[in-house]
Amino acid sequence: MEATRLSQTKSLCSTSLPHRRLIVPRPKRPSFVAVLTQPADSIGIRPLAIPTVVTEKAGPYNDSWFDRIATHHLSQSVQAATGLRNSKSGYESLVEAATAVSRNFDATKQRELVIQALEKAFPRPILSLIRTLLPQSKFAREYFAVFTTLFFAWLVGPCEVRESELNGRREKNVVHIKKCRFLEQTNCVGMCSNLCKIPSQTFIKDSLGVPVNMVPNFEDMSCEMIFGQHPPALLDDPVFKQPCYKLCKASRRHHTKCSS
């Protein structure tokens, strides 16, 4: 009798209770801060956005009195070279001055104006003395790497000295910029290339006699300055094959031709 009731109960449960589906929640999609996109006018069609994860902002920056003076001095030098003035202050003034250069001049003229601004900012007699006292050598390359790390963090953000192999031996001749402040603020590949990388390489080589290759990473906004390494020719430089950020503030082309 009990066996019969147990059998009927099991039969009732198996026929009256519906089967439940196990619902597995979908994983959340990662959000992207910025994306890269090929300039539309270079391919003739509307570009597809290529998502690239960009890390969180490195700021806010706590600029010291020296940082503020240096930033103001460089900003004023850029404005004097271009004749384009702005009323902003601090690092915002420097970014505004650089943006004005990008908007009003082609790529070749942009580089020329930045070199003129650097010549105004750094007295040539002092640079000539440094070049005389520190001819190109392992010591000079390592000295310039340390000097850049200590005295130019206000411009590019926190950085550190790293090693690389040059002429078959290890040297501490690399400045690794963890997240470039200028690139982060402008959010523009073209401004990084034409207003920082190319003119800085030229200015340092001509003024101090030491070649330097600046290698930006546009995915995480880091950069490496490799003292003693010659940069590639403009037509072969990978930065000019790099699409700009979709959120680029300048919205300009950045090719090696005279027209930016």
The per-residue pLDDT for range 205-235, each reduced to its tens digit, is 999 999 999 999 999 999 999 999 999 999 9
Position 49 in a domain: no
Position 57 in a domain: no
pLDDT at 200 over 90: yes
Tell me the two tokens of residue 180.
Answer: 């470039």
pLDDT at 188: 93
pTM comes to 0.74
> 163, 171 in Cβ contact below 8 A?
yes
Mean pLDDT within 169-191: 95
Position 53 in a domain: no
In angstroms, the CA 132 to CA 210 distance is: 12
Q: Quick check: bond before 39 cis, omega within 30? A: no
As for how many domains the chain has, the answer is 1
Contacts by residues 228-235 (CB-CB < 8 Å, ≥ 24 positions apart): 228/136, 228/141, 228/166, 228/171, 228/173, 229/164, 229/166, 231/201, 234/198
In the DSSP assignment, the letter for residue 241 is G
pLDDT at 61: 87
Position 217 in a domain: yes
Q: Which domain holds residue 172?
A: 64-245
Position 34 in a domain: no
Position 44 in a domain: no
Mean pLDDT within 123-140: 93
Q: Which residue has the higher pLDDT, 69 or 41?
A: 69
Q: Which residue has the higher pLDDT, 21 or 46?
A: 21
Position 184 in a domain: yes
pLDDT at 18 over 70: no
Position 205 in a domain: yes
Mean pLDDT is lowest, of 21-30, 96-105, 117-126, for 21-30
Classified as helix, coil or strand, 130 is: helix
**pLDDT level of residue 189 (50, 70, 90 thresholds):** very high
pLDDT at 35 over 50: no
Residue from 22, 34, 134, 152 nearest 161 by CA: 152
Burial class (CB in 10 A: 0-12, 13-18, 19+), 9: exposed
- Looking at every residue in the chain, the average pLDDT score rounds to 81
pLDDT at 242: 82
Residue from 83, 124, 88, 112 nearest 260 by CA: 112
In angstroms, the CA 81 to CA 32 distance is: 37
In the DSSP assignment, the letter for residue 79 is H
